[in-house]
Amino acid sequence: MSQLEALKTFTTVVADTGDFKQIAAYQPQDATTNPSLILKAVQKPEYAPILSAEVAAHKGKPLDEVMDHLLVHFGCEILSLIPGRVSTEVDARLSFDTAATVARGKRLIAMYQAQGIAKERILIKVASTWEGIQAASQLEQAGIRTNLTLLFSFCQAVACGQAKVQLISPFVGRIYDWYKKSAGSAWVEAEMAGANDPGVQSVKQIYNYYKRHGIATEVMGASFRNVGQITALAGCDLLTISPELLAGLAASDAPLHASLHAPAALAMDIPAVHFEEASFRFALNEDAMATEKLSEGIRAFCADAIKLEKLMLAA
């Protein structure tokens, strides 16, 4: 049994890509996309015609609407290859606008439904800002499931649980990146790997808190830098993994055991926490890593959305 096959016995495996031609080989349950992944895909010759076709089909429509049609096209292609759900992201430029995020999420769902896709197969990805979390709460109340992304801190996870969102995506690799850069020459890779990896520790803390307090929100580790981070989180509800790392797992037959256990979390002494807007903003501000990585992530997704719009204008 490969590590990928073993992982599937503990955890729902999700493919993290816009390159849907790569998905079938790994037979994931779900898939996730983001603006950067879609941008990367449409710059490949085999996907360029999709961009051209969507631009032609919606000529004269606002760019943001054409962009959503493009995202939905990729989502539909992915859904034809997997049994589960696909995550489609709201424009990161709306990360601090609750009403606009809600409207965009509803529009994406309507576009999917127009293609015959049930809303239960879609997760609307929203940045884990205070405004994004409130938007997700409203979408959930309207029967639209959400995936809260760009999540780096415990306070973000707690607020998402309070909002009863369907799923969160803690960014393991980006947390690891920050601590490694911050430590500089003092960083010893071997000592900070596996269970000692700060990104892995963040996901474990969130997972144990959710299970201890009966929070139904699914935990999906994301943004991995190496196979070791993935195997250290075996047992997590879901893990979304790039095709490159899926290939690494498929090529290895090293033993794999679950590291996260819901029954064990139930016995842990973990106090309940609650955040209002002010306390959330203060807690996030106190976490330098989360503050910096959240801002950086939003900026990067915004930049890639603008690049995607430029490609559409040139098509």
Range 51-74 average pLDDT: 96
Range 213-238 average pLDDT: 98
8-54 tens-digit pLDDT: 999 999 999 999 999 989 999 999 999 899 999 999 999 999 999 99
Please give the pLDDT value at position 35.
Answer: 85
How far is residue 44's CA from residue 135's CA, in Å, rounded to a whole number?
34
In this predicted structure, the answer to whether residue 281 has a pLDDT above a threshold of 90 is yes
pTM of the model: 0.97
82-110 tens-digit pLDDT: 999 999 999 999 999 999 999 999 999 99
Range 110-121 average pLDDT: 98
Domains annotated for the chain, with CATH where assigned, are 3-314 (3.20.20.70)
Contact 310, 68 (CB under 8 A): no
How far is residue 150's CA from residue 162's CA, in Å, rounded to a whole number?
17
Range 132-153 average pLDDT: 98
Please give the pLDDT value at position 310.
Answer: 96
Nearest to 18 by CA among 95, 63, 66, 73: 73
Mean pLDDT of the chain: 97
Please give the pLDDT value at position 295.
Answer: 98
In this predicted structure, the answer to whether residue 218 has a pLDDT above a threshold of 90 is yes
Active site residues: 125
197-216 tens-digit pLDDT: 999 999 999 999 999 999 99
120-132 tens-digit pLDDT: 999 999 999 999 9
- Name the helix (H) or strand (E) containing 16: strand 12-16
How far is residue 264's CA from residue 268's CA, in Å, rounded to a whole number?
7
HSE (CB half, 13 Å, CA atoms) of 126? 40
